[in-house]
Amino acid sequence: DSGVTQTPKHLITATGQRVTLRCSPRSGDLSVYWYQQSLDQGLQFLIQYYNGEERAKGNILERFSAQQFPDLHSELNLSSLELGDSALYFCASSVAGSPNQPQHFGDGTRLSIL
C-alpha cells in the first residue's frame, strides 16, 4: 500500500462528457503528479502541483485541468472526452517539489470512453 488513494478505480462514460478524478497524497507529501498511461504505453506526465500551486506542466491537453486543494488532495478534470482519452490515469505524490524525490503511485483510475 503506497498510501496514495485514487478514486474512482473505474470510470465508464461517453464521448463529450466530463469527469473528475480524485487523488489523496501520502500523509506528509506536498507534491501531487498526474500521469496518463495508455495501453502498452509508458507514463505520460500531465501536471504537477506543489503545496497548492502548479509546479510543472507536461503534455496536458487544454481539455484537461487540475487543481490541488488546501488539504493537499488533487482533482484532475477531463472534459469533452474523446475515445482516445481512454487510459489509466495515475496520481503520484512526493515529499517535496523537486523531481529528485521518489514518487509514490496510487492504484490508478481506469477511464473507458464508449
Partner 1 sequence: GQQVMQIPQYQHVQEGEDFTTYCNSSTTLSNIQWYKQRPGGHPVFLIQLVKSGEVKKQKRLTFQFGEAKKNSSLHITATQTTDVGTYFCAGGSNDYKLSFGAGTTVTVRA
Q: Could you give the CA distance from residue 102 to residue 112 in angstroms, rounded to a whole number?
A: 29
Q: Per rule CB under 8 A, is residue 86 in the interface with partner 1?
A: no
Report the site for partner 1 in 19-58 (rule: CB under 8 A). Answer: 33, 35, 41-45, 48, 55-56, 58
Cβ 92 to partner 1 shortest distance, Å: 8
Question: 85 exposed, middle or buried (CB, 10 Å; 0-12, 13-18, 19+)?
Answer: buried
Cell for 17?
462528457
Site residues (CB under 8 A) for partner 1?
2, 33, 35, 41-45, 48, 55-56, 58, 90, 92, 97-100, 102-108
